[in-house]
């Protein structure tokens, strides 16, 4: 699906120079040594379709502009690595990392490109679709047996802005040969063309390494391979020596932005990986830097690492506590020092977004932008797409007070849906719906945040939250901001399918959630929803919790002020709970009954 990128504060035109590649019969080598030939070249491959429709596994979950996986693989060498898993994209590619490759400004990327996405193989990178009308015939198969790994896309149409949301027919495959690490693209059928919105570079075919520093383009432009074409990439017989140390991640493997509490004890961590094909035996230095919004380094430290083997990585947890006394936006940067003959320097540093909040004030905003307009606009052609962002509060338990969306324009849409999920899905993805609302366009003031109050407030004791903005009609727009570094916590949602946002490395959405500590404005003996009373309070050995209505199930919990669950004897008498102090120390505690929270104090 094509994404509409609009400016909410200025109208402008942008003419981008582009390169249209022909389809030469042979090409290369790239820096690593890969070469390719098609079936028309002397000594080129013979076209032979490898049918895996009955022997392979049907790939499920593909939609429009998304990817699925990982699929476990082994024994195949790709550039300097031997991947152990791959992901399959709806837009005609496989990748060795979880990346969504979609069009930007109605073009697909040149190969190689130093910025993300990287580490992929693209037999037919274009705007394809497994979504739209239920009649869409698209199928995909995965095969991994013996010395062959194969992925076939069969009968896959282009995304087209028509009643079915698709048109055309493409059948193609990529074959990875474990014996010689060659890569073969086969094209069985090609008819139709991408949506008319694509006028240049609607197609990109080629391979790219893990850093984007090397790759080999077969073609880019608007001319598609004809049926019965085969293209074979040969792994070099003699591999060039490559030394490459890289910052693999900072704080977390997703390089995702984080929220911290002011004066919180926090020690940074970074991961360094040897991405080259040479052992690094010499010592090298790993460093972190904390920079404020002005780019001033306010804290840093480094340590010496004693070499690193091919394909190995090491995680450094610094003992330093970051000086987080001010509520502000920061960059946390990881860096690896230069080593002799390091041939790739673009991956020697990596930064994540770090935002410090003050939990002593009434409420805080979880929003990765600086919340300062003007913003650009994000909107989907067709009016049925959405975007989402993932947040982890800096403290628990937390009350979620509202959802916030900066709407730039409403167009002819009915409005939008705002949906909040927990992260109990598979591998921490979106799970249960915690709150859902529809905001009609008649209630929207554009160029401002729409605040959707959650009443009663949600209480979250652990985990993260996904906030989804979903269009209900064409041309409604949400604010988006160019961010460096971006949170990398953003997603695009099309036809119900979630995928990493295509520009997650450089943009964030102007939306978020308002939170507050449970203890804010909460007095001893009072419940947050005024549905129970605690007495006596303070107490020496036990307290009674008088409920407004009988409690049907054991939905209660004792916690300390940080939200950590505590063991205590609690007896349920229907309309009353009785909490026994036992060996609890003197102090203030939180008692949760259903969704309501109260404070209780034990004294000696």
- Please determine whether the domains at 245-357 and 364-517 fall in the same fold group of CATH: no
Q: How far is CA 409 from the centre of its chain?
A: 26
What does 476-519 look like in DSSP terms, one character per residue? -EEEEEE-SS--S-EEEEETTEEEE-TTTTTEEESEEEEEEETT
Residue 241 has pLDDT above 90, yes or no: no
pLDDT of residue 521 exceeding 70: no
Using DSSP's 3-state secondary structure scheme, residue 426 falls into helix
SS3 content of the chain, % helix, strand, coil (to 5): 0, 50, 50
> CATH number for the 532-602 domain, one of 3.40.1160.10, 1.10.3470.10, 2.60.40.420, 2.60.40.3080?
2.60.40.3080
Fold of the CATH domain 364-517: Jelly Rolls (2.60.120)
> What is the model's pLDDT at position 80?
87
Q: Specify whether the CB–CB gap between 272 and 250 falls below 8 A.
A: no
- pLDDT (average), residues 41-51: 97
pLDDT tens per residue across span 334-367: 999 988 888 788 889 999 999 999 887 778 999 9
Pair 205, 124: CB distance under 8 Å: yes
Residues 6 or more apart whose CB falls under 8 angstroms from that of 372 comprise none
Q: What pLDDT is attached to residue 13?
A: 31
- Give 442's Cβ-side CA count (13 Å radius): 0
> What pLDDT score does 451 carry?
97
Distance CA 216, CA 499 (A): 26
**Is pLDDT at 296 greater than 90 in this prediction?**
yes
What dihedral do alpha carbons 15, 117, 87, 32 form, nearest 10°? 120
For 102, the token pair is 């979609």
Neighbours of 508 (CB within 10 A): 28
pLDDT at 524: 61
Q: Where are the domains of the chain?
A: 3-234, 245-357, 364-517, 532-602
CA 305 vs CA 54, 166, 245, 321, 360: distances in Å: 50, 53, 12, 20, 40
The β-bridge partners of 494 are 385, 497
**Cα separations in angstroms, 533 against 38, 339, 524, 568, 578:** 78, 65, 9, 19, 12
Q: 18 pLDDT band (50/70/90 cuts)?
A: very low
What is the CATH number that goes with domain 245-357?
Answer: 2.60.40.10
Non-local CB neighbours of 86 within 8 Å, separated by 6+ positions = 69, 70, 71, 73, 94, 95, 96, 149
Reported pTM: 0.78
CA-nearest of 379, 381, 5, 3 to 161 is 381
Per-residue pLDDT of 279-295, as tens digits, reads 999 999 999 999 999 99
Q: Identify which of 386, 384, 443 has the alpha carbon closest to the alpha carbon of residue 410.
A: 443
């Amino acid at each position: 699906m094509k994404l509409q990128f609009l400016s909410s504060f200025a109208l402008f035109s942008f003419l981008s120079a582009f390169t249209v590649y022909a389809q030469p019969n042979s090409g290369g080598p790239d820096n690593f040594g890969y070469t390719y030939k098609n079936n028309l070249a002397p000594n080129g491959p013979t076209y032979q379709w490898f049918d895996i429709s009955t022997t392979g596994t049907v790939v499920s979950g593909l939609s429009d502009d998304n990817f699925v996986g990982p699929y476990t693989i082994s024994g195949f060498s790709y550039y300097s690595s031997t991947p152990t898993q791959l992901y399959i994209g709806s837009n005609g590619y496989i990748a060795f990392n979880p990346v969504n490759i979609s069009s930007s400004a109605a073009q697909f990327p040149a190969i190689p490109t130093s910025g993300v996405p990287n580490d992929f193989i693209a037999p037919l990178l274009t705007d394809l679709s497994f979504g739209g009308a239920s009649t869409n015939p698209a199928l995909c198969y995965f095969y991994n047996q013996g010395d062959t790994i194969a992925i076939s896309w069969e009968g896959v149409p282009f995304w087209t802005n028509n009643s079915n949301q698709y048109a055309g027919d493409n059948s193609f495959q990529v074959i990875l040969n474990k014996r010689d690490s060659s890569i073969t693209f086969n094209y069985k059928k090609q008819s139709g063309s991408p949506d008319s919105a694509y006028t240049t570079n609607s197609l990109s075919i080629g391979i790219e390494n893990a850093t984007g520093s090397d790759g080999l383009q077969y073609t880019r432009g608007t001319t598609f391979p004809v049926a019965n074409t085969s293209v074979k990439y040969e792994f070099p017989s003699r591999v060039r020596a490559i030394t490459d140390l890289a910052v693999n991640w900072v704080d977390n493997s997703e390089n995702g932005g984080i929220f911290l509490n002011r004066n919180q004890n926090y020690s940074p961590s970074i991961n360094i990986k040897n991405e080259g094909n040479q052992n690094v035996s010499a010592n090298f230095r790993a460093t972190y830097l904390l920079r404020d919004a002005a780019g001033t380094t306010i804290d840093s430290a480094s340590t010496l690492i004693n070499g690193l083997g091919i394909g190995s990585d090491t995680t450094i947890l610094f003992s330093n506590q970051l000086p987080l006394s001010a509520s502000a936006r920061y960059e946390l940067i990881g860096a690896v020092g230069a080593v002799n003959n390091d041939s790739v320097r673009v991956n020697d540093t990596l930064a994540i977004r770090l935002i410090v909040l003050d939990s002593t004030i009434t409420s805080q905003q979880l929003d990765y932008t600086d919340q300062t307009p003007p913003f650009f606009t994000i909107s989907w052609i067709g009016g049925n797409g959405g975007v989402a962002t993932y947040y982890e509060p800096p403290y628990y338990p937390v009350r979620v007070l509202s959802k916030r969306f900066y709407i730039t324009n409403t167009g002819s849409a009915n409005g939008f849906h705002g949906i909040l999920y927990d992260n109990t899905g598979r591998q921490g993805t979106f799970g249960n719906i915690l709150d859902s609302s529809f905001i009609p366009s008649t209630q929207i003031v554009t160029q401002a945040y729409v605040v959707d109050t959650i009443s009663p407030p949600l209480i979250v004791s652990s985990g993260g939250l996904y906030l989804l903005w979903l269009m209900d009609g064409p041309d409604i727009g949400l604010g988006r901001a160019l961010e460096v570094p971006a949170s990398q916590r953003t997603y695009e949602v099309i036809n119900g399918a979630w995928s990493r946002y295509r520009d997650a490395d450089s943009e964030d959405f102007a939306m978020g959630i308002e939170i507050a500590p449970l203890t804010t404005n909460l007095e001893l003996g009072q419940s947050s929803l005024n549905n129970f009373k605690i007495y006596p309070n303070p107490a020496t050995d036990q307290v009674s919790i008088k409920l407004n209505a009988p409690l049907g199930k054991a939905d209660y919990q004792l916690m300390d002020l940080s939200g950590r669950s505590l063991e205590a004897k609690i007896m349920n008498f229907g309309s009353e709970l009785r909490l026994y102090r036992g060996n609890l120390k003197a102090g203030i505690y939180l008692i949760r009954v259903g969704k309501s929270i109260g404070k209780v104090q034990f004294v000696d």
